[in-house]
Structure 1
Amino acid sequence: MTAPRTKRWGLVALAVAGPTAAALVAVAGGIPAGEAVQLVVQSCLGAAVTGLIISGVLFVLRRRPIGVQVAVAAFAPVLAVALGAGWAASQMFITSHDLWVLWVVLLGAGTVGLVVALLLGRRVAEASASVGEMARRLGERGPGTTLAPGEGRPAGAGPHELVALAAQLEQTSARLADAQAQAAAMERSRRELVSWVSHDLRTPLAGIRAM
């Protein structure tokens, strides 16, 4: 329960820090108080609407490849800035020339962000496939199997969570092998005990029968 609660508070802190930072920038830029409040409120509302839209799209695409979802998530800040810039231009906070300049910058930045997001999604997808292949090979070869990075185990340069998951799979396989060895040893001990007891009982019984 501690980890989810910590993450929840982290999101709340981030949500509070954003508007606070926007207000501080407005004050530092010498924007009048009334306009500053209007800018902060409208920008936060636009960002919230964008977040809801992107969240809905991600929910619809929840079964699609991770690369597609990462690309959609990377599009969120670009869309938020575009909506904010459009609103600011409609309220005469910036000129139409400045707006067109901002569109050009956003297109360039959005393209770079999209490419980076697709590369990240591809990397995560490859590492996820490696973990799946590792689990399959461990299941085929049985407990105690150790795989090299080329045999389905994610390379050390992969995402930390997936590399840790691969290590946990190997540790679980090793523990299962130890448990099987202990079970086999106990079974051998049981059989030896039954054999000894049977032998000890047969010897006096044979003497009784001879009498």
Structure 2
Amino acid sequence: MSTDEVTVVAIAAACVLVVGFAGQLTIRRLHGRGLATLLVAISVVVLAAVGAAVAVDSHVMFLSTHDGIVVALTLAAALPLACGLAFWLARAVSQAADSLALTASQVGGSEPPRGARMVSSELACVQDRLLAADSALRAARDGERAAETSRRELVAWVSHDLRTPLAGIRAMAEALEDGVLDDPSEYHKRLRIESDRLSEMVDTLFLLSRLHAGALPPHPERMNLRDLVSDAVASVAPVAEIRKVVVSGDVDPGLVASVDPSQISRALTNLLINGVHHTPAQGEVSVHAEQVADGIRISVQDACGGIPAEDLSRVFDLAWRGRSARFSGPDGGGGLGLAVTQGIVAAHDGQVSVSNVPPGCRFDITLPGGPDVSPVR
């Protein structure tokens, strides 16, 4: 590189450093101003550094008067126009930032935030994160409202289903204490029945709390589902016989699964007893287990007449009965049996659903497939 070239480079670098230092001091004094102002100031500093380097180099290199005038006119025309262009572009970025700020102020509000198209991928990424945060906040708020509704219904359930037998026990105890009964043994029997009923309710609530807290993990065992289904059918047979309801079971040959037998048996029994108590006499409740693409499905079909469409989404809510008390069990524990079933199936990483299938409804328990879930030929 020649001496003249080194001189040109050195002069350009010196001009950029001097103007850059002055520009840095200026930008610091603009702290707290709008984004557009800062962007314009940065653009002006950069243009001034380039213009100063060109002007000084042209003067040092002793250009002709004509060439000097051309350079000066070029700088005089280009620099203001470039500053105007910088202002116009900075305004577009500033408007995008204002839109982003508006989106941020609307996160978690009553209405979904409205976001304009961003001019850069970074701003667009921030906007996407804000919109995702808004969706998460809304989902959390909906979940909190649902939980609050469930808690209120649980309190209402406790006040009704627990207070009523307690009041009966108290009345019978007072009668026994006063000695005004002709046959105290009958009251003793009823006291035992009511106390057993209350004990079962409390045990079920405790089971639900452990399921929801994850404190009751399943202990899977490889077992033939035919045995599990036949045991569940046999357990509800006495109740079905009293109500004159037929209960049947059908399992694909050799179908085995790795499940907690006591938990899944209880979940299946809850569905069967629920179906028996809401199927009219001479009706049928059937259970069928089969291999499906995503694992194993156990279906319980009853003849209850169906569930109102608006109630299907709340069938498994804790202590929820429905307008017609469709889901009250024999112990009066409305909603607890289905809630327990859902908790047990969830603990097995499965799903339970309900749909209207004439002449009643069908509950489907789907357990995930895997190396321990396979049909045996």
Same fold (TM > 0.5)? yes
Q: Is there any run of 5+ residues in structure 2 with no aligned partner, and where?
A: 173-377
**Structure 1 residue 169: Cα displacement:** 2.5
Name which structure has the greater RCO, CA cutoff 8 Å, separation 6+: 1
User: Which residue pairs with 1:91 in the alignment?
Assistant: 60
Greater C-alpha Rg: 2
Mapping for residues 11-160 of structure 1, pairs under 5 Å? 27=1, 32=2, 34-92=3-61, 94-138=63-107, 141-142=109-110, 145-147=112-114, 153-154=115-116, 156=117, 158-160=119-121
Q: Does 1:210 align with 2:177?
A: no
Structure 1, unmatched stretches of 5+, are 1-26, 148-152
Change (3 A) 1:174 1:103: same
Q: Classify 1:157/1:186 alpha carbon distance in 2 versus 1 (closer, same or farther; 3 Å).
A: closer
In the alignment, does 2:148 pair up with 1:187? yes
Closer, same or farther: CA 78–189 of 1 in aligned 2, 3 Å: closer
Partner residue in 2 for 1:176: 137
1:46 partner amino acid: C
Residue identity in the other structure for 2:101 = G
Once residues 89 and 126 of structure 1 are traced to their aligned partners in structure 2, the CA distance between those partners, rounded to angstroms, is 39
In the superposition, the TM-score normalised over structure 1's length comes to 0.67
Amino acid of the residue matched to residue 203 of structure 1? T
Identity of aligned residues (%): 30
Change (3 A) 1:128 1:37: same
Once structures 1 and 2 are overlaid, which stretch shifts more, 170-179 or 156-165? 156-165
Amino acid at match of 2:134: S
Encode CA deviations 1:11-64: one digit per residue, 9 max, x unaligned: xxxxxxxxxxxxxxxx4xxxx1x3333332232122111111112111212333
TM-score normalised by length of structure 2: 0.40
Aligned-partner residue type, residue 192 of structure 1 = E
Shift of 1:207: 2.6
**RMSD of aligned C-alpha atoms?**
2.7
- CA drift of 1:203 comes to 3.4
Deviations 1:75-134 (A, max 9, x none): 233322332234334533544443322111112221221121111122122223333334
Structure whose residues are more often strand by fraction:
2
Q: Residues 100 and 77 (structure 1 numbering): CA distance in 2 closer, same or farther, change over 3 Å?
A: farther
1:196 correspondence with 2:157: yes
Equivalent-residue separation in structure 1 for 2:76 and 2:168 (angstroms) = 100
Amino acid at match of 1:133: L
Give the number of equivalent residue pairs.
172
Structure 1 stretch 126-135 or stretch 172-181: which is displaced more? 126-135
The separation in 1 between residues aligned to 2:97 and 2:159, in whole angstroms, is 55
1:114-157 per-position Cα deviation (integer Å, ceiling 9, x unaligned): 12111112212222333333444556x42x6253xxxxx32x26
Between the aligned partners of 1:41 and 1:60, the Cα distance in structure 2 is 29
Matched-pair contact (CA < 8 Å) for 1:85–1:99: no
**How far off its partner does 1:170 sit?**
2.3
How far the C-alpha of 1:180 sits from its partner, in A, is: 0.7
Higher helix proportion: 1
Are the equivalent residues in 2 in contact too, given 1:78–1:106 (CA < 8 A)?
A: no
